[in-house]
Amino acid sequence: MYLTIWGAAKQVTGSMHLLELADGYKILIDCGADFTADAYKPDYNPIPFEASEINLAILTHAHLDHSGNLPILVQRGFQGQILCTKPTAALTGLLLSDYASINKSKILSNPKVKKSAALVNSMIAAGMYLEKQVDEAMGRFVALAFNKTFEIRPGLSLTFYKAGHLLGAAMAVFEIVENGITKKIAFSGDLGRKNYPLLEDPEPLPQVDYLVCESTYGNRAHESNATPEEEIEKIITETCVEKAGRLIIPAFSIGRTQTLLYILNKINFKSKFGKIKVFADSPLAREGTKVYNTHHEYLNVEARSMYHNQGNIFDFDNLVDVFNFKESKAISNYSQPCVIVSSSGMITGGRIQHHIQRNINNPYCTILTIGYSAEGTPGAQLSPNSHSIRLNGKDIPVAAKIVKTDVFSGHADKNDLIHFVSNQNKTSLKQIFLVHGEEESMNSFQASLQELGYANVTIPEKGQRWEL
Ligand SMILES: [Zn+2]
């Protein structure tokens, strides 16, 4: 068989890996959007192979850097099924629809569009899909359970193992028999952390011959030793009680917001913080929360038991669900101490932008960043030393306090990654391919694994192909 790494090569986004079996059967593992690519460039090609030749697609989890190009794959002639877990299918539907509506506004904001239907079609053909293309892709999803081996065809089976990271996130292990020889190859997808709120711990994998492993935090350990409960209580006390100010938290709508609301519920918010209100201000997050409630059987033991005792585990006294844009704007006039949780997490769009704009020069405000922000986004400009940030073309001075924490990070750190690989026997594991990390992180992770005795650790280039 052959493996080609078509994305997330020496970078974090754009996961896309192709397995070709000896008889030509082709399996695509993830089909993610590459956020470093410029969709307006003439040489932009989100699917760099013949889509109609792919027999089957596997999706490890819902994040767009793993799922975002699936509608383009279908649009370009992919006829097969897309296998993933149930929560992944539900969350992917939400994220792809949201992405399609962003594409729609981008297309409509192009002044030439009104005069030319052909231009709209060419933009869609280039990869700017709309709701119709999302519906076509979602029609191909087939859900599989964790830990149940599914025989795709004789000599080819697939098992999903729990990866933590996000509700429904899976590692995919293939067992392939070719010429009487059995080979196992695992794709880690994105690996989560142990004891992460809501989610079950990542599972150890069975022994495999080849491992395609993420390496986002291959060069660093998470710094915070506090629990999410301790961290959030401390910051709310400092901001809303001691200073009587407002705490603004930019948070991804899917995953991070649910974690935050769950933790605020778990600390019994009202009993600790009296009348302080928490505004949850993201329509997509509200839909994501419904999916988390619907698929509560995929949550960890603690969250499941809370669900059985109280139903919706993301709702609590003092939580205000903000529905429309007018209500969202009106929060600016609310003069009492409060917490605002809004998206997008990297402040690239959405309602968080006006909350930041209205409050960033308020010294009674704290902005807490809890997730990854890609280089060049407004979120990445926010650091405890920021004096100004550029938002929608304007430089805005920063008077608010900026606080960062990694306690909510959904990715395994260096130690977790090393522990994960260490479950594999050094001689039986023939080759490790590092993907989904910046080059610096991969180099460091490669060196750590080599020190441990894993001799064959490869950092692939985009499009590089191996015979396994
Ligand atoms: Zn992810």
At residue 192, the 3 state secondary structure works out as coil
Identity at 359, one-letter amino acid code: N
| CA–centroid distance, residue 395 to ligand 1 (Å) | 31
Q: Do 42 and 178 share a structural domain? A: yes
Q: Check residue 36 and give its pLDDT.
A: 84
Strand runs labelled E in 48-103: 56-58, 81-84
Same domain, residue pair 199 and 236: no
Q: Are residues 245 and 310 in the same domain?
A: yes
Q: Does 33 share its domain with 136?
A: yes
Q: From ligand 1's centre to the CA of 347, what distance in Å?
A: 18
Q: How many angstroms separate the alpha carbon of residue 408 from the centre of ligand 1?
A: 13
Q: What is the CATH number of the domain that holds 167?
A: 3.60.15.10
For residues 293 and 419, membership in a common domain is answered with: no
Q: Compute, in angstroms, the gap from residue 216 CA to the centroid of ligand 1.
A: 10
Identify whether residues 342 and 423 lie together within a single domain.
no
Q: Looking at the structure, tell me whether residues 168 and 265 fall in a common domain.
A: no
Contacts of 316 (CB under 8 A, 6+ apart): 261, 264, 265, 268, 269, 270, 278
Question: pTM, whole model, 2 decimals?
Answer: 0.95
Given this model, what pLDDT does residue 460 score? 98
- Give distance in angstroms: CA of 192 to centre of ligand 1: 9
Q: Please identify, among 370, 386, 404, the residue that sits at the C-terminal boundary of a domain.
A: 404
Distance CA 91, CA 63 (A): 8
Q: Residue 124's pLDDT is what?
A: 79
Q: Looking at the 3D structure of the chain, how many domains does it have?
A: 2
Q: How far is the CA of 94 from the centre of ligand 1 (A)?
A: 15
Angle value at C-alpha 122, between 118 and 128, nearest 5 degrees: 130
Dist. CA 202 → ligand 1 center (Å): 13
Are both 381 and 425 inside the same structural domain? no
Are 64 and 19 in the same domain?
Answer: yes
pLDDT of residue 333: 87
Residue by residue, pLDDT tens for the chain (468 residues) are 999 999 999 999 999 999 999 999 999 999 999 988 877 777 788 999 999 999 999 999 999 999 999 999 999 999 999 999 999 999 999 999 999 998 888 888 877 777 677 877 877 777 889 999 999 999 999 999 999 999 999 999 999 999 999 999 999 999 999 999 999 999 999 999 999 999 999 999 999 999 999 999 999 999 888 999 999 999 999 999 999 999 999 999 999 999 999 999 999 999 999 999 999 999 999 999 999 999 999 999 999 999 999 999 999 999 999 999 999 999 988 999 999 999 988 898 899 999 999 999 999 999 999 988 877 788 989 988 889 888 888 899 999 999 999 999 999 999 999 999 999 999 999 999 999 999 999 999 999 999 999 999 999 999 999 999
Question: How far apart are the CA of 165 and the centre of ligand 1, in A?
Answer: 7
Pick from 373, 404, 435: which residue ends a domain? 404
Domain containing 41 equals: 2-220+410-467
Q: Are residues 43 and 150 in the same domain?
A: yes
**CATH code of the domain containing 291:** 3.40.50.10890
Query: Do 355 and 377 belong to one domain?
Result: yes
pLDDT at 355: 96
Residues 159 and 240 in one domain: no
Cα–Cα distance for residue pair 354/360, rounded to 1 Å: 10
* Residue that finishes a domain, picked among 404, 419, 443: 404
Q: Does the bond joining 344 to the residue before it have cis omega, within 30 degrees of 0?
A: yes
3-state helix, strand, coil in the chain (%, to 5): 35, 20, 45
